[in-house]
């Protein structure tokens, strides 16, 4: 089992990465407080892994809450239904929640854990690539509002993140591709060598070769852990992790949550941010082509939805969490391997790029 730490003083926790961890009681045991465990999952993941994890945790008193599958259920209504069920199950402060699923389940469970009785322990057990490399690490928890993604939430760190790379074997191709958008993001904002490695190994990654997946996921987690350790609450460098997200969240909100997967919307957003960089002479056209080609190689969209122009984007981006002093802040790459946060993106340039897409 490969492990690394997210270093946050008294809130530090490990990330365990290996095959077959869902069947390994030792991976869970040290991170469970008390004797009662409640697994929160969705209908699809429950069929695949619910019984497996329940058996693995057989030494504990295990209950399960199963939600519908989909981004459209990442809502306050779902939050309230889970809280009600925890009360019915008499969950206490020594009850440990297990978030078994993708980013929706992880974000929702984390937010529930942050709020229930003012905070109870939880463990992230991500089963999608996107959640393994991004949303399960760093303590961002939230639900969506119809007017904006992740607008209701809290920073709340898990006790541990347990990543079983074999869980990706059952992941549909579209979901796997969506996770690759976040993987590629790390190379663009932080590590050019990693971007080069992704280009060189794209076929093996697409074929889900276990050795490559474990190496790739570990590097993404290392980068995120380094960034979160420096900036837990996103007052500085952590904002770079939002590359493509300002545009991407607008796409998700405009199209309706779940119509475009989060990673698909981020992919289109990454290309738009790269085009901004090209027009500002921060990045050569050749680098934009490399970024677009790597995203496309995994079947990801490299342009926003047809007909979604400047006005639609602005309507949503002006409500984005990253707006400060009424100015929209964008993460813009200035080379493959580095990026900056700026509110200095000319309106005329945005209009040109967005209306042309």
Catalytic residue positions, numbered: 118, 140, 182, 224, 234, 238, 242, 245, 249, 262
Q: Which of the 8 DSSP states describes residue 19?
A: T
Contact partners, residue 154, CB within 8 Å, separation at least 6: 110, 111, 114, 115, 141, 142
d(CA 316, CA 214): 36
Direct distance between the N- and C-terminal alpha carbons of the chain, in angstroms, rounded to an integer: 45
d(CA 13, CA 343): 34
Strand partners, 153: 142
d(CA 61, CA 22): 17
d(CA 159, CA 247): 32
d(CA 261, CA 179): 10
Residue 334: CB atoms within 10 A of its CB come to 15
Reported as type and span, the H/E element at residue 145 is strand 140-145
Inter-residue contact 6 to 157 (CB < 8 Å): yes
Backbone angles phi, psi at 154, to 5 degrees: -155, 155
Angle CA(310)–CA(134)–CA(254) in degrees, nearest 5?
Answer: 25
Inter-residue contact 251 to 304 (CB < 8 Å): yes
Backbone angles phi, psi at 317, to 5 degrees: -65, -30
């Amino acid at each position: 089992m490969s492990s690394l730490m997210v270093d946050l003083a008294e809130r530090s926790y490990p990330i365990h990465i290996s095959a077959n961890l869902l069947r390994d009681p030792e991976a869970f045991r040290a991170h469970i407080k008390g004797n009662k465990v409640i697994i929160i999952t969705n209908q699809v993941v429950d069929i695949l892994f619910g019984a497996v994890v329940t058996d693995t945790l057989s030494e504990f008193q295990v209950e399960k809450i199963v939600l519908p599958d989909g981004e459209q259920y990442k809502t306050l209504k779902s939050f309230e239904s889970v809280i009600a069920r925890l009360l019915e199950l008499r969950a206490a402060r020594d009850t440990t929640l297990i978030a078994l699923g993708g980013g929706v389940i992880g974000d929702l469970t984390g937010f529930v854990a942050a709020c229930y009785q003012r905070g109870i322990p939880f463990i992230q057990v991500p089963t999608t690539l996107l959640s393994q490399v991004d949303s399960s690490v760093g303590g961002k928890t939230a639900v969506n509002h119809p007017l904006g993604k992740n607008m209701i939430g809290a920073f709340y760190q898990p006790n541990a993140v347990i990543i079983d790379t074999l869980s990706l074997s059952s992941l549909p191709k579209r979901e796997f591709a969506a996770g690759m958008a976040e993987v590629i993001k790390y190379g663009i904002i932080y590590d050019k060598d990693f971007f080069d490695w992704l280009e060189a190994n794209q076929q093996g990654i697409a074929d889900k070769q276990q050795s490559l997946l474990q190496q790739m996921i570990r590097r993404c987690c290392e980068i995120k852990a380094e960034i979160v350790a420096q900036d837990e609450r996103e007052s500085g460098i952590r904002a770079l992790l939002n590359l493509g997200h300002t545009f991407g969240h607008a796409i998700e909100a405009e199209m309706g949550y779940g119509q475009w997967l989060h990673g698909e919307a981020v992919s289109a957003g990454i290309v738009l941010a790269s085009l901004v960089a090209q027009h500002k002479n921060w990045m050569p056209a050749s680098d934009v082509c490399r970024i677009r080609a790597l995203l496309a190689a995994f079947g990801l969209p490299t342009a926003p939805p047809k007909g979604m122009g400047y006005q639609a984007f602005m309507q949503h981006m002006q409500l984005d969490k990253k707006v400060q002093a009424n100015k929209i802040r964008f993460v813009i790459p200035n080379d493959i391997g580095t990026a900056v946060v700026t509110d200095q993106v000319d309106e005329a340039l945005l209009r040109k790029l967005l209306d042309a897409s």
